[in-house]
Amino acid sequence: MDKFIIEGNTKLCGEVEISGAKNAAVAILPATLLIDGITTLENVPNISDVKIICNILEALGAKVSWTDEHTVVIDSRDLKCVNAPLEMTSKFRASYYLLGALLGRCHHAEVGIPGGCNLGARPIDQHTKGFEVLGATTSVSQGKISASAKKLIGAPIYFDVVSVGATINLILASVLAKGTTTLDNVAKEPHIVDVANFLNSVGAEIRGAGTDTIKINGVQSLSGNHTYSIVPDQIEAGTFMLAAVASKGNILIKNCIPEHLDSLSAKIIEMGGKIEDLGDSLRVSCNSKINPTNIKTLPYPGFPTDLQPQIGVSLAIANGTSIINESIWESRFQYTDELNKMGAQITAQGKTAVFKGVKKLTAAHLYATDLRAGAALLIACIIADGQSELYNIHYIDRGYEHIEDKFRKLGAKIKRVSE
């Protein structure tokens, strides 16, 4: 197990290059299983979740090869319609996309109950409900979830809750179904649009991604020999924007899509930060005290839950009291106990946390409790007085590529140590 040792008190300045989006990559890689051909994906983030998916694709008979650090070629022509290895699929959350993709291509799928970050209850009832509307039967037993169908027939599906995973999974299951599927009350995150764009680029007929209703006209097959570049990671960009604010620094965030970050940019301006939109990059700086503000996490285009812990670090040192209301995940305030070890004054109860701003955070030994909490705690260590140690950094490696190198280039003093 690795840990980070961080020398604090750093103002982060310089440039950072944003990688491809984790949450798009972990959906588009399984989506390549729907193609009876070869696909080249560019701008793929080199993170541990992506490596696990690639191993699973290989176990299913696909040939996966990296031609450079961010380009992967997947040949799914010899896909074996077998169950995905349980020990691999139960390791991480996004393995549920194998259900939609394999159901679409093979009409049968079985995966281990998806694991991943501990954010509280993570039901997948909307996924299974959707598969059943298309004509599949689903069952859960012995730690596995399976779905089978003789035939998938397009139909209208109305989601009871807005779910990123269910929206993408039902797109995957219906692109090769017979007839038209209409998905209502869908999620609108940028990575959903990216999955739809990818599938359309190989011959799918998906309309409306990014709106509340998505219409999919089933096609007979998807064509290979195509190259697609994954969208930049909105959450990684937001993490560095918030690192600029918390450290009172000045960072040029390159290779991002500023409009994906509008809800965060608005908050940063309220907090006294400055944002310069340069088209495909953003400059974020903060020279003054941080103003307190209130946040409610919501599905896109609302404030993303995946940036809630990172903004929490800035609010912990704001000039007054702020409130965060977390409406997506019930256990996303675990990082506040860790920040309190650094002298923060945060009271979290249920879906609400009250941040009474303090002047300074002080170094401590901290434990990442999930991916985004890990990124937030790393920022906290970079700005705190003294030398901190951060454990459980395998969570961070799941979703951030070379995070310590990127922060080091901005002036942070971070050492990775193997224990």
Residue with tokens 């401590």: 364
Kindly state whether residue 164 participates in binding ligand EPZ, applying the rule CB under 6 A. Answer: yes
Which of 117, 256, 286, 381 is catalytic? The answer is 117
Q: Give the range of 113-121, 195-203, 242-250, 265-273 binding ligand EPZ by CB under 6 A.
A: 113-121
Q: How far is the CB of 128 from ligand EPZ (least distance, A)?
A: 8
Cis peptide before 301 (omega within 30 of 0): yes
Evaluate the CA torsion angle 6, 11, 15, 18 in order and state its sign. positive
376 is a contact residue toward ligand EPZ (CB under 6 A): no
Q: Tell whether residue 311 is a contact of ligand EPZ (CB under 6 A).
A: no
DSSP structure class, residue 393? T
Residue from 371, 377, 384, 410 in contact with ligand EPZ (CB under 6 A):
371
Active site annotation includes 286: no
Q: Count of residues binding ligand EPZ (CB under 6 A)?
A: 25
Kind plus residue range of the DSSP H or E element containing 109: strand 108-112
Q: Is residue 165 close enough to count as binding ligand EPZ by CB under 6 A?
A: yes
Strand partners, 68: 71
DSSP string, 177-192: SBSEEEEES----HHH
What residues contact 338, with CB distance under 8 A and at least 6 apart? 364, 366, 367, 369, 373, 377, 380
Min separation Cβ 388 and ligand EPZ, Å: 22
296 in contact with ligand EPZ (CB under 6 A): no
Query: Using an 8 Å Cβ cutoff, are 21 and 193 in contact?
Result: no
Binding characters for ligand EPZ, 20-59, by CB under 6 A (x = yes): ---x--x---------------------------------
Given candidates 77, 78, 82, 125, which one binds ligand EPZ under the rule CB under 6 A?
A: 125
Other beta carbons within 10 angstroms of residue 180's beta carbon come to 15
- Identify the helix (H) or strand (E) that includes residue 338: helix 334-341
| Binders in 173-202 for ligand EPZ, by CB under 6 A | 187
**Residue 138 is a binding residue for ligand EPZ (CB under 6 A):** no
Secondary structure E strands in 255-384: 274-277, 281-285, 294-296, 321-325, 345-349, 352-356, 365-367
Under the criterion CB under 6 A, does residue 127 sit at the interface with ligand EPZ?
Answer: yes
Contact residues: ligand EPZ, CB under 6 A? 23, 26, 93-94, 117, 119, 121-127, 161, 163-166, 187, 305-306, 328, 371-372, 399
